[in-house]
Amino acid sequence: MKKKIYIPIILTVIITVTAFLLNYYRSPFRYYLFPAVLIFLPLLCDRTFKPVDLFKPSMNGLKLFLFVSIAVLAVYPFLFFFYWINLKNSQFIIPENTEILKAAGKGLAAVAVAAIPEEFFFRGYLQEHAFSAFNKRFAKIITLKNLLTSLLFGAVHALAFLDITRASTFFPSLLFGLFTEKSNGRIFYSISFHVISNILAFILWTFIK
Task: Give, for all 209 residues of the chain, the pLDDT tens digit.
Answer: 456 788 999 999 999 999 999 988 988 888 889 999 999 999 999 989 989 889 999 899 999 999 999 999 999 999 999 999 999 899 999 999 999 999 999 888 888 888 999 999 999 999 999 999 999 998 788 999 999 999 999 999 998 888 898 899 999 999 999 999 999 999 999 999 989 988 999 999 999 98
In the prediction, which pLDDT does 177 show?
96
Select from 187, 169, 167 the least CA-distant residue to 177. 187
Partners of 143 in beta bridges? 137
The pLDDT value recorded for residue 3 is 63
The pTM is what?
A: 0.91
Any idea where the domains of the chain sit in the sequence? 6-205
- Identify the three-state secondary structure at position 38: helix
Find out whether 15 and 38 touch, Cβ atoms under 8 Å.
yes
